[in-house]
Amino acid sequence: MTKRLLFIGPSKLHKTVKNLAPVSWEIISVKSLSEFLEFSISIDFVLDASIKDTIDLSSKPFSEVKIVACASTGTNHIKLPINNSRQIIVISLRDIPEVLNNLTSAAEFSFGLLIALVRNLVPAAKSVEAGVWNRSEFTGVILKGKKLGLIGFGRIGKAMANYATSFGLETSFYDPYLQQKPSNFHEHESIQSLVSESDFISLHVPYKPDINVRPIITKDIFKHFKYGSFFINTSRGELIDEIGLIDSLKSGAIKGAALDVVIGEPEITENLIYQYAKRSGKNIILTPHVAGNSIENIEIATTGILELLVRKTVGI
């Protein structure tokens, strides 16, 4: 029997997916979930490279799905049926570390956010767009000689540390799950210790709804941040207490924040940080979860997870 694969992702990869999938498969390629929902056909497998819409596998269009493959590290946008009685398999890039290690986009973007944040790049550009040329209003700070604190020292954290070294930053990290400890970077025994001594703090840990039942960066931890520090989050919005961040921004304890992720995305109009940033005009950079969204990243991730998906279908 012919198997059907639904590919949700950029149109430029539709042909690539078709060429790499088994010839016996029927490929349905769409750019968005809403586009697929216009069809009334059953599918066996899903390959999601859009990572922007919640896929509810208990809904009728997905009633025959056996495997969902995500071209991402996160799978919290995949909603399994209650009890998962159909035993649907969900796989992600975390299942193929050999592919994951070739993806540098998120680390590069995170470091770019750091530079943009401390140099007031976004508000300065907006000011010029409004016809104002006032360089004294946007005085930044240099990176050299400052301290970068990394919460999570996996693939992205290590890349950030290497970039930081090139810029003359002193880097330290907190990661209680790290098996092999690096000798050239200082390790903190607690998040509180790290944030209290760091000029810049960047969060790089995975979000797992069944494990992260409360934020890693709590209100109390935000109170320990070094006064005048900067905060970057390209992991997940649920990992931080957003009210705690807002309180620290209000007090000036945190001088600026750059966030690629927020709670409730992509519907952000009710998000507390979005509302605060819009109302206050503070030095807050918000981007739409694009850290890993590069041409090369998407192609490498999609082909890698497709190969794993094909292997997983043997015998199904």
Sketch out the chain's domains with CATH numbers: 4-98+295-312 (3.40.50.720), 105-286 (3.40.50.720)
**CB-based contacts of 103, cutoff 8 Å, min separation 6:** 93, 155, 292, 297, 300, 301
Compute φ and ψ for 232, nearest 5 degrees: -125, 135
pLDDT in tens, 245-294: 999 999 999 999 999 999 998 889 999 999 999 999 788 999 999 998 89
26 backbone dihedrals φ, ψ, rounded to 5°: -95, 125
pLDDT of residue 314: 83
User: Which residues are annotated as catalytic?
Assistant: 236, 265, 289
Tens-place pLDDT, residues 183-224? 899 999 999 999 999 999 999 998 877 666 689 999 999 999
Query: How much is the pLDDT for 189?
Result: 96
Q: Please give the model's pTM, rounded to 2 decimal places.
A: 0.86
